[in-house]
Amino acid sequence: ARDWALLVDYPHDMMVFPEFIFVTTQRPDIVIYSREICHVILVELTCPAEEGITPAQERKEARYTPLKASIENQKIWTVDLMTVEAGARGFVARTMNTCLRKLGFSANMASKV
């Protein structure tokens, strides 16, 4: 089993991005990392109106792609950036399933979630 750490950014308990990975003021909603394999996963959640899901995804990717590139440019860490969109009226975008599958959920379990 790999040694993974999980950081979640809550309004009442704001996280600091792990400085040993990269010094930044940005705070993705979820940061999962393993020092053992030097891999970091950035997850950003957005809850737009259903008709705004694609633009919201594009905004979040544009916001965090430079951070991803900066971390990768150090040639130490590998980085996955995942956006997850859940519509304000209950629609959950396909990005949720994609994220869960990349995190190791089975197809069946990801669908149930």
Q: Which residues contact 72 (CB under 8 A, 6 or more apart)?
A: 78, 79
Report, as an integer, the average pLDDT of 89-103. Answer: 91
Alpha helical stretches, state H, 1-113: 53-73, 94-102, 107-112
Mean pLDDT, rounded, for 55-60 = 93
Pairing of strands 78-85, 5-8: unpaired
pTM of the entire predicted model: 0.85
Q: What is the mean pLDDT of residues 17-43?
A: 94
Span 5-26, pLDDT tens digits: 888 878 888 888 999 999 999 9
pLDDT at position 1: 52
Residue 2 has pLDDT above 80, yes or no: no
pLDDT band at 95 (very low <50, low <70, confident <90, very high): very high
Residue 32 has pLDDT above 80, yes or no: yes
